[in-house]
Amino acid sequence: MTGFTVAFLICKGFLPENAWAIIAATTGSFIGETINMVAVAGVFGVEGVDYAYSVMMVTFAFTIFMTVIMALIQKKQQWNKFMKANTDGLDEIAKRIAEDTDPDINTCTMLDYLKLFGVALCGTWAINSIIPHLPPVTFLNATGWRVVFSSILGIILGVTPARKLKGATECANVFLYACMCVTASYSDLKQCTQAPGFLVLCVIMLIVMFAMWTLFSKIFKFDLFTAEVAITANIGGTSSAPLIAATHNPNWISFGILLGFFGDIVGTGLAILFGHFLHFLA
C-alpha cells in the first residue's frame, strides 16, 4: 500500500481518472489473492478495460517479484549474515505443525462436494436475506456487503468443525476462475492505451516495496526464509508462499499457508479502505 501510494502520487498526472479504483483492485490481489481482487473490483465497479489493467499489473509485477525472490534464495547465507539473523527453532516449529496436518485433506468424495455445496447455498441465502435490511452506506454497495459478510462467515466457519470439510479449495478455485473469466470477457485489450503508465506505476511500487522490505529485515534481523515467505504471502498469497517455503525446506510449507491465509482474511477490507484513501488523494 505504501508503494502504490508513492507511485500514485508520482504517476497520477498521466493516469486515467479512475486509476485509484484500478489500483485498489490490484492491491486487493497483492494483500490477499485473486479472489480479493475480484471482490474489490466489484465494490468499485472496475470492469472491462479497467479490469484488464488490473490483471496486467498483477501479472507484470508478480513476474518481476518472483524473479527477484527466486534469485535471492541462492544468497541465503550472505543474507542471513548481513541481517545478523538467527534461525534457531524454525525446524522444530515446522515439524510440530506438519504433524498436525491431515494427510488426506485433499482426498475428496462426491459427498464432500455436496456438503460444501449445501453450506454455500445456505450461506448465500442468509447473506442475501440480510442485505436488503441494512441501512444505506456511501462506501459499500450490495456487492461490497456480500464480500464483507462472506468473509466474516468464512472466518467463523474456519474455527468450527466445518473447517474439516474437504475440497473447499478446489470448489473455490472453480468459481473464482469462472468469475474472473466473466469479468475479463468485457475487456477490449485494444483500448488499453494507458498500459505504459500503469507499468511504470508497478515498477515504482516494487522499488519502494523492496526497499522497505530490506530495511525492516535489517531492523528486525529476519532470516531469508522468514523474509521471503512473508513478502511472498503478502504479494502472492496461499498459492505462492508455500512454494517459496518448500524451496527453502519442504517441512516449512505450513508457514507459507498460515501467512498467506492471513492476507486472504484482511485483503478485501484493507484494499477497500485503501481505495477510498487513493480516491481522496486523487
The string of DSSP letters for 45-73 reads T--THHHHHHHHHHHHHHHHHHHHHHHHH
Helix (H/G/I), strand (E/B), else coil: 205: helix
- Cell triple for residue 122? 445456505
Mean pLDDT score of the chain: 82
The helix-helix angle for 19-31 and 224-235 (nearest 10°) equals 140
Cβ atoms 37, 54 nearer than 8 A? yes
Half-sphere exposure of 50 (CA within 13 A, CB side): 20
- Cell triple for residue 44? 468499485
Domain segments of the chain: what residues? 2-102+189-281
Q: Give the residue-averaged pLDDT of 141-159.
A: 75
Task: State the Rg of the chain over Cα.
Answer: 20
Residue 139 pLDDT more than 60?
Answer: no
Q: Check residue 249 and report its DSSP letter.
A: -
Confidence of residue 20 (pLDDT cuts 50, 70, 90): very high
Quote the CA–CA distance of 105 and 102 in Å, as a whole number: 5
Q: Give the residue-averaged pLDDT of 125-151.
A: 76
Torsions phi, psi for 140 (to 5 deg):
-140, 120
Nearest by Cα to 181 from 77, 34, 45? 34
Q: Check residue 136 and report its DSSP letter.
A: P
Residue 106 pLDDT more than 90?
Answer: no
Cβ atoms 13, 206 nearer than 8 A? no
Lowest mean pLDDT among 2-16, 89-103, 129-143, 261-275: 89-103
Helices first, then strands: H and E counts in the chain: 13, 0
Spell out a b/e string for 174-197, using b for 16 or more CB atoms within 10 Å of the CB, else e.
eeeeebbeebeeebeeeeeebeeb
- Cell triple for residue 179? 468469475
Please tell me the predicted confidence (pLDDT) of residue 209.
Answer: 95
Q: Give the residue-averaged pLDDT of 3-27.
A: 92
Cβ atoms 3, 205 nearer than 8 A? yes
Q: In this predicted model, what pLDDT tens digit does every residue of 164-200 receive, in sequence order?
A: 788 777 777 677 667 666 656 665 656 667 778 899 9
Confidence of residue 91 (pLDDT cuts 50, 70, 90): low
pTM for the full predicted model: 0.69
Helix (H/G/I), strand (E/B), else coil: 224: helix
Please tell me the predicted confidence (pLDDT) of residue 180.
Answer: 60
Please tell me the predicted confidence (pLDDT) of residue 138.
Answer: 56
Please tell me the predicted confidence (pLDDT) of residue 176.
Answer: 64
Quote the CA–CA distance of 152 and 265 in Å, as a whole number: 9
Report how far apart the first and last C-alpha atoms of the chain are (Å, whole number).
15
